[in-house]
Amino acid sequence: MKERVLKVRRLGRFSYSEGLSLQKKLEAKAIEKRKEDYLLLLEHPHTFTLGRRAKDEGILATKELLESLNVEVFETNRGGKVTYHGVGQIVGYPVISLSPDRKDVHKYVRDLEEVLIRTLSGFDIDSFRIEGLTGVHTNDGKIAAIGVHIKRWVTTHGFALNVNTDLDYYKWIIACEGEPVTSMEKILGNEISLAEVEDGLIRNFSDVFGIKEIEQKISRKKATV
């Protein structure tokens, strides 16, 4: 049996709408062929997203304030409530087929948490799961959010890890279950290289999901798949 290949695309700054469009394109390809697994790593401009369990009151800012903060708002089909994406945060969108041997949604989410926990450990940050909640936490607050969508056992959406994130934007939403939030920069006291964190995420994603072959492309201006 041929080894699965993880096609990693390091996209840099990428609008949320462009990210959705690219995921849909790759999702259709994965459903049709079941041969290629993708991991998209990128930053979004300031964005609030509402998951399937979100309510409008989860965003505390007025329309006028959102405009002054240059924040876009999107309703999505991922799980979860309201979350923030922005500069200094690494967003990961795995577009992978869980069929035939990983058809377990809860295990998939736990595996994403494991990727993040291992990556943070590589920077000497202790992180953990909390029973009944999704995402990755530290003693200083939640550091990574997870919200996924699965169609015909192909995944979209994914995780958001606060690296050098401006945490002030969280003041304008009730994030997930209302937990306090933190970032790698806040915990360690210095700015962190996004490229180094991406390296750790790729390595740990490959290990946790058992994908040995990795193909990488860095495309900071226009995504090529």
Nearest to 188 by CA among 196, 178, 179: 196
B/e letters for 97-126, b = 16+ CB within 10 Å, e = fewer, are: bbeeebeeeeebbebbbbbbbbbbeeeebe
d(CA 207, CA 125): 19
C-alpha distances out from residue 41 to 21, 23, 224, Å = 15, 12, 13
Residue in 90, 176, 201, 223 annotated catalytic: 176
Active site residue 176: yes
Phi, psi of 38 (to 5 degrees): -120, 145
Residues acting as catalytic residues:
176
